[in-house]
Amino acid sequence: MATSSDQHTSSQTVAEHGSADSVPPLLQIVGLCASVEGTPILRGVDLTVESGKVHAIMGPNGSGKSTLANVLLGNPAYEITDGSILYKGEDITAWPTDTRGKAGIFLAFQEPEVISGVPVIQFLRQAMSARQGIDLSVLEIRLQMMEWMDKLGMDPAFGERHLNEGFSGGERKRNEILQMAMLDPDLAVLDETDSGLDVDALRTVARGVRTVREARPDLGVLVISHYVRMLEELDVDRIHLLIDGVVAAEGGPELGARLEAEGYDAWRN
């Protein structure tokens, strides 16, 4: 991973992105290169996410979409070989995962893990206490959880079940949206949240994301998806097309319509 001496300094960041009085983008990825077990995957990704906007990353299998999600959350299995990740104008390229989470970056996993013996409410208590830096009581968590479950149309008994144990695909994804709502991040990265969902479940998850955004209009969302339908449900502001580890094209919803009609072949070279 690139060392701190290799990254942009604060003064460089100001020089590149405006005066000290200007508000930097929520997330800015600059020339990001990353490898897995010595194999290059990301080959110079440039991408910006603004607060209050929904950005989407699309691309064929093997293009680097999930690698990018893991790199953004600091997964140590992925080595950053060049470039920078700026969050609210601060270089976080070398930050560990827990520090990124506490700073307000959330990742909804493509395949949420099962944690046997840990009820959803206890998991949320630990995660929220770490995020806020205080020891929250079970009662405080329960009250917030009940409020959000009502907004999201979830069964209150859900909170007593062990995390993802015996959950359907749709239940796992809705649980991720509940976590996102309660952890109150500034940036949410949704890694193929629509994977394995039928149309009804997809709409339910998308409705949950919209509900959270209504409560947090400044929330920035970066959704990684294969399906234009999901982007339509989320009313995406900007689409970034990732091909062979680089952003090959960017545009509004019209780019999604073109991808659905033409596929990825037009951009592969």
Predicted pLDDT at 11:
37
Average the pLDDT over each of 43-47, 100-104, 191-195, 215-219 and give the range with the smallest value: 191-195
Q: d(Cα 151, Cα 234) in Å, to the nearest integer?
A: 17
Count of structural domains within the chain: 1
Residue 193 has pLDDT above 60, yes or no: yes
Residue 31 has pLDDT above 80, yes or no: yes
Predicted pLDDT at 14:
39
Residue 161 confidence class, pLDDT cut points 50, 70, 90: confident
CA angle 32, 34, 38 (to 5 degrees): 155
Predicted pLDDT at 21:
57
- Which domain CATH number covers 207? 3.40.50.300
Contacts of 110 (CB under 8 A, 6+ apart): 66, 191, 192, 193, 195
| Beta-bridge partners for 162 | 119
Domain region containing 246:
4-267
CA torsion sign for 24, 35, 78, 247 is positive
Q: d(Cα 140, Cα 68) in Å, to the nearest integer?
A: 35
